[in-house]
Amino acid sequence: MEFSKTVLLGLKADDFRHPIDKEATATLKQLPGLDLAVRGLLGSVAEEFFYLNNIASSVLVGEKQLPDLHNLLLEACRVLDLEPPQLYVQQNPVPNAYTFAMRGKKPFMVLHTSLIEMLTPAETQAVMAHELGHLKCEHGVYLTLANIMVLAAGLLPNWGTVLARSLQERMLAWVRCAEFSCDRAALLAVQDPKVVMSVLMKLAGGSPTLAPRLNLEAFVEQARSYDAVSATEMGEMLKTVQVQPLTHPLPVLRAREIDRWAGSRDYQTLLDRREKGYNRKATKGEWRNW
């Protein structure tokens, strides 16, 4: 039995990485010793903390545990040509998903129950693929530091020196840039921009009861009109102030970016690779032995 998605064999991160992600990552790499500090000083502690938290308070998804979610993950990994991470489901009223990965370690992904309850299976797969985008782009080292800084800021609002706060601002700016690449990974996996934009719409104003009543076309029009808000110098300043403390770009901005990229030649070229011998249709029975 065949599934209809194009399998992107040999897909590389730079095939879909957003330009502002490239620029922001290059800027971080210029900070001396940051990569080594995260891996050497924070990596082992953070890895142990999150691993214990998942084992203690989450459900590990697999062939015998929530197999429908397991199959969605396997298909997304197959399409993106990526080894599957562990997948956990955690009871939490705040819709969210996150990934933890340090180089050389087994990565894992966590989905909150409230997020799954709000989304369709295809939308849930888009979220999984977004998280897989972090792995494909090797965001793990800097993502770890960003998550730790956000946690520290929540527990200790006045923590750290001016230098520490400056680093936090840089990390948050990098995360916001990295999210655009991961949204592209989500689109490559589900291969339907409406699915990705529907996820963003529900994150902006959805709930299990409201989600079926939301109008995607109206939200897309809202996304396309976003630029008009910042057409003035005041509007641009207000937009900058609005996003500065956030870990993610505004949902409407992310939807606008996906809407644009879905109509681009770069996106179509990736999907058309199979015509040149790079991709092919695959059967469900052909899952790679990871």
How far apart CA 74 and CA 77 sit, in angstroms, is 5
Cα distances from 183 to residues 113, 119, 121, 253, 256, in angstroms, run 21, 16, 17, 11, 11
Edge-first strand order for the sheet with 108-112 is 58-60, 86-90, 108-112, 97-100
Q: What is the DSSP string of 109-123?
A: EEEEHHHHHHS-HHH
Cβ-proximal residues to 151 (8 Å cutoff; 6+ apart), any chain: none
Q: Are 143 and 199 in contact (CB under 8 A)?
A: no
Give the amino acid at 158.
N
Active site residues: 131
Q: What's the rounded Cα separation, in Å, for the pair 245 and 260?
A: 25
Contact 137/21 with Cβ under 8 angstroms? yes
